[in-house]
Amino acid sequence: MYLFNTYCLRKFQKIIIFCVLIIFTTFFSCKKKTIQDNVPYQTVNLSIYPNDPLNFKLQVVGGWIYYNGGVNGIIIYRKTSVGASDFVAIERTSTYFPENPDAKVKVQSDNFTLKDTISGSKWQIIDGGLSQGPATLPLRQYYTNYDSGTGILTIRN
């Protein structure tokens, strides 16, 4: 009888260990969504000239323009005037209503806040960070590189 109980106990322990390993493997192997998965993907590969007279607003720190590209357009903002990371390019698609083309973000009169035209959510122009809901995600930010030698601003994802 003792051998039978020991045998059953060992089998039970192995089953418990196996179940725990399965649970841990499943839990730690789950991939998290990136925080911007809800905005549709659109290839962006733009080159613009901030010193062009058409882009005169980008010639000063704090200047911004709307630009065609991305899903619903892009907001280009000039943060500084000293390096390759002078500019920020932010997708205009609201992360609260990403499938609604009318839910675009617009620059507010303070030139610092972006606001969704439908939900009222607000983000910061400097990095697309969320400042007021109901949205819970930041806006998509595109990679930017400014080459002061050529005067070309490259925007891509």
The CATH number that applies at residue 113 is 2.102.10.10
C-alpha 144 chain-centroid distance:
14
Q: Is the pLDDT of residue 75 over 70?
A: yes
Q: Is the pLDDT of residue 20 over 90?
A: no
Residue 4 lies in a domain: no
Residue 88 lies in a domain: yes
Between 100 and 19, whose confidence is greater?
100
Residue 133 lies in a domain: yes
Q: How is residue 73 written in tokens?
A: 């357009």
Residue 36 lies in a domain: no
Query: pTM (2 decimals)?
Result: 0.72
Q: Is the pLDDT of residue 22 over 60?
A: no
Residue 113 lies in a domain: yes
pLDDT (0 to 100) of residue 37:
59
Residue 7 lies in a domain: no
Q: Please tell me the total count of domains within the chain.
A: 1
Residue 98 lies in a domain: yes
pLDDT tier at 115, thresholds 50, 70, 90: very high
CA distance 129 to 125: 8
